[in-house]
A = this chain, B = another copy of it.
C-alpha cells in the first residue's frame, strides 16, 4: 500500500540514519556536534537515574547514598549495561549502548560514531571533574579553617602513618611473600597509600559528622594524603619509566603544594573580602554564587596548572571563604551551593562506578585467579594499615580513633589512577594490576558502610565531642 509505504518511509528515516542533521556542521574530527549534545543528554539521563535509584535504594537499606551512586554507576557502566563507558577502558564506540541508540534513533552516521563517542566521553569526564570540584568546594565551605588548624598536627601524623605503614608493609609483602621484583612491588605499595577525599568527605557530610573532631582530622589527613599521593605517584611513575627518581620534579611538587596550600590559607582573608565586596555590590541574579564559583574555579585551575589537583584548589577556595555566617551573602551562598552540588556531584560518583570493571572478578581468567590471591593480601594491608593510622591520634581528649582510621580506608578514584598509570607504564603484571583494582574496589565500596557503623556506634561520644564545633 502506498500509504503504509509513505509512513514507513517517513518514520523509518531516522532509523536508517538518512536524515541529514542540518543544524550540525561536522568538525574536521568528524564528530557531529548535535549528536555529541544528544549523547551527553542521554548519558546524563542514565547517570541521574542510576544515581537516584542507587542512592535511594542504599539509603533505604541503611547504607550511605554515595555507595548506591557508585553501585548505580557499576550497573550502567563497563561492568554491566555499557550505557556510560569511556575509551580509556579500551572500548570503542561500537560497545557504547548510547552511541548505538544514537545511530538507531537519531541518525548518527557510522562514520561519525567514533569521534562522537570520544567527544561525548570527553565532555562527561570534564562534567565529572567539575562534580568533584564542586563537592570539594562545598566540603571546604562547610569546614572551619580554625578547627582544621586545631587538628593540623594530628592530621599530618595520621596522613604520614597512613602512607608509611601500608607502603612499607605492602612493598615488603610483595617482595617476600609473592617474590615480585622491586619496581612493581613499590608500585603496589604506593597504590596502598591513597585516600579518596571525595568518598570520605561525602560520607561524613551524609552522616553529619564533617564538623566533628574526627571528621576534621579525617578531612585534613585526606587532603595531606592526596598531596603525598601525587608526589608518590610522581616518584614511582618516573621510577617505572626510567628506573630513576626525578628529584627536581619531586622537589617541585613538594614546594608548589606547600606554597599553594599555605598561600591559599594566608591569602584567605583577602579572598573573603573580595567575595563579600563583589557579592554585596551585585544586583543581578547569581550575585553570590557566581563570584564564589569564580574563585573556586580559579583556584582549581591553579591547582591543576601546577600539577597538583584541581580538587585541592577547590577545597582551599571553600576553606578560605570562611565566616560566611557573618554576612548575608555568605548565608545565601551556603544555601544556594547545595542544589548546584546536588545536580553536578552525582555525575562524579556514578562515573567512578561506571569505570569500575568487575570483569577482574571472573575466576575463569588465570591472571584473575592469581590476582585474587594477591588482592587478599593487599586488601588486608590496605584496611589494617589505614585503620592503624587512626590510632596515631594523640592528646585530643576523647577521639573515636577507629572512625578516623576507617575514614582513611577508601582508595576511590585516586587508587584507580595508580592502577592506570602502573598498567600504562608496563611495570605491573596483569595479575598485579587486577589485584590493585580489586583492592581499590573493595576499600571504596566497604568504607562508606563501615564509616557509618563506627560513627554510629560511637554516636553518643561523637555528639558530645562535637558540641564545641559548628
Interface residues in chain A, defined as those with a beta carbon under 8 Å from any beta carbon in chain B: 9-10, 13-14, 19-23, 25, 27-29, 31, 33-34, 36-38, 40-42, 44-45, 48-49, 51-52, 55-56, 59-60, 65, 87-88, 102, 105-107, 118-119, 122-123, 125-126, 129-130, 133, 230, 233-234, 237, 248-249, 251-252, 255, 278, 281-286, 289-291, 293-294, 297-298, 300-301, 304-307, 309-310, 336-340, 342-343, 346, 417, 420-421, 424
Known: A118-B29, A304-B38. A234 touches B290 (CB 8 A): no
Nearest B residue to A14 by beta-carbon distance? B306
8 Å CB contact of A56 from B38, B230, B283: B283
Measured CA separation A338–B285 after assembly (Å): 9
Min CB distance A208 to B, Å, is 12
Measured CA separation A294–B72 after assembly (Å): 15
8 Å CB contact of A22 from B36, B107, B125, B233: B233
Measured CA separation A119–B29 after assembly (Å): 10
7 tightest A-B CB contacts, nearest first: A286-B342, A106-B305, A336-B339, A41-B301, A38-B304, A65-B284, A48-B294
8 Å CB contact of A297 from B41, B289, B336: B41
8 Å CB contact of A52 from B44, B122, B252, B290: B290
Whether A293 and B248, one on each chain, are in contact in the complex, defined by CB atoms closer than 8 angstroms, is no
Whether A248 and B304, one on each chain, are in contact in the complex, defined by CB atoms closer than 8 angstroms, is no
Measured CA separation A21–B125 after assembly (Å): 17
Measured CA separation A344–B324 after assembly (Å): 23
A41 proximity list for chain B (CB < 8 A): 133, 297-298, 300-301, 304, 310
Whether B33 and A125, one on each chain, are in contact in the complex, defined by CB atoms closer than 8 angstroms, is yes
Nearest B residue to A304 by beta-carbon distance? B38
Measured CA separation A281–B27 after assembly (Å): 44
Measured CA separation A65–B105 after assembly (Å): 39
Known: A289-B339, A289-B343. 6 other contacts (CB 8 A): A22-B307, A48-B294, A55-B284, A105-B305, A106-B306, A106-B307
Known: A48-B294, A107-B307. A122 touches B119 (CB 8 A): yes
Known: A27-B88, A307-B21. A293 touches B48 (CB 8 A): yes
Measured CA separation A249–B18 after assembly (Å): 9
A338 proximity list for chain B (CB < 8 A): 285
Whether A343 and B290, one on each chain, are in contact in the complex, defined by CB atoms closer than 8 angstroms, is yes
Known: A20-B249, A52-B282, A234-B22. A293 touches B343 (CB 8 A): yes
8 Å CB contact of A122 from B38, B123, B424: B123
Whether B102 and A305, one on each chain, are in contact in the complex, defined by CB atoms closer than 8 angstroms, is yes
Nearest B residue to A236 by beta-carbon distance? B22
Copy number in this complex? 2
8 Å CB contact of A27 from B23, B87, B306: B87
Whether A37 and B286, one on each chain, are in contact in the complex, defined by CB atoms closer than 8 angstroms, is no
8 Å CB contact of A38 from B230, B293, B305: B305
8 Å CB contact of A252 from B10, B281, B309: B10
Measured CA separation A339–B234 after assembly (Å): 39
Residue contacts A-B, CB under 8 angstroms, 12 given:
A19-B307, A22-B421, A23-B307, A27-B118, A29-B29, A40-B130, A41-B300, A45-B294, A48-B290, A48-B293, A59-B284, A106-B307
Whether A346 and B230, one on each chain, are in contact in the complex, defined by CB atoms closer than 8 angstroms, is no
Whether A310 and B65, one on each chain, are in contact in the complex, defined by CB atoms closer than 8 angstroms, is no
A21 proximity list for chain B (CB < 8 A): 307
Whether B290 and A342, one on each chain, are in contact in the complex, defined by CB atoms closer than 8 angstroms, is yes
Known: A33-B125, A48-B290, A255-B10. A304 touches B88 (CB 8 A): no
Min CB distance A344 to B, Å, is 9
Min CB distance A263 to B, Å, is 14
Nearest B residue to A314 by beta-carbon distance? B41
A55 proximity list for chain B (CB < 8 A): 284
Nearest B residue to A230 by beta-carbon distance? B23
Whether A420 and B25, one on each chain, are in contact in the complex, defined by CB atoms closer than 8 angstroms, is yes
Measured CA separation A34–B40 after assembly (Å): 20
A52 proximity list for chain B (CB < 8 A): 278, 282, 284, 286, 290-291, 294
A233 proximity list for chain B (CB < 8 A): 22-23
Measured CA separation A331–B52 after assembly (Å): 20
Whether A307 and B248, one on each chain, are in contact in the complex, defined by CB atoms closer than 8 angstroms, is no
Min CB distance A45 to B, Å, is 5
Measured CA separation A343–B27 after assembly (Å): 28
A298 proximity list for chain B (CB < 8 A): 41-42, 45
